[in-house]
Amino acid sequence: MYQFSFEKLKVWQLSRQFVVKIYKITANFPDEEKFGLIKQLRRAAVSISSNLAEGSARLSGKDQQKFYQYSFSSLMEVLNQLIISSDLNYITSQQLEELRTDCEEISRMINGMFKPYNP
């Protein structure tokens, strides 16, 4: 089966695994967070891999960089929401640390995709 270029990116593969972790962990959040943190966390987590995929399909370096920046920003949004989730005792400090380690690895890989742009 044909693989698109984004499917070959290690960072995209890791971000997909990260989405699955977010979905599993938020399944244990209180029901009243269904339209709050659960929705926000899941949407932002999906956005990480989605923007990596979309950016890889862009022809200009400037466009690619824009979507990689969106991906990084979504990752930071997820981290913020995980910290809040920990503050609210929805996740344990150990869960936060494990997910934070994932965030750090993904962020390093996204940052490695940035290239100086020369118009």
- Domain boundaries defined on the chain: 5-111
| pTM exceeding 0.75 | yes
pLDDT of 76 strictly over 90:
yes
Residue 78: closest CA among 29, 44, 28, 34:
44
Q: Does domain 5-111 have CATH number 3.90.1200.10?
A: no
The predicted-structure confidence for 10-36, as pLDDT tens digits, reads as follows: 999 999 999 999 999 999 999 999 999
DSSP symbol at 80: H
For 4, phi then psi, to 5°, come to: -75, 160
DSSP per residue, 51-88 = HHHHHHT-SSHHHHHHHHHHHHHHHHHHHHHHHHHHHT
Q: Tell me what pLDDT residue 115 has.
A: 65
Q: What is the mean pLDDT of the segment spanning 45-56?
A: 96
CB 11 within 8 A of CB 110: yes
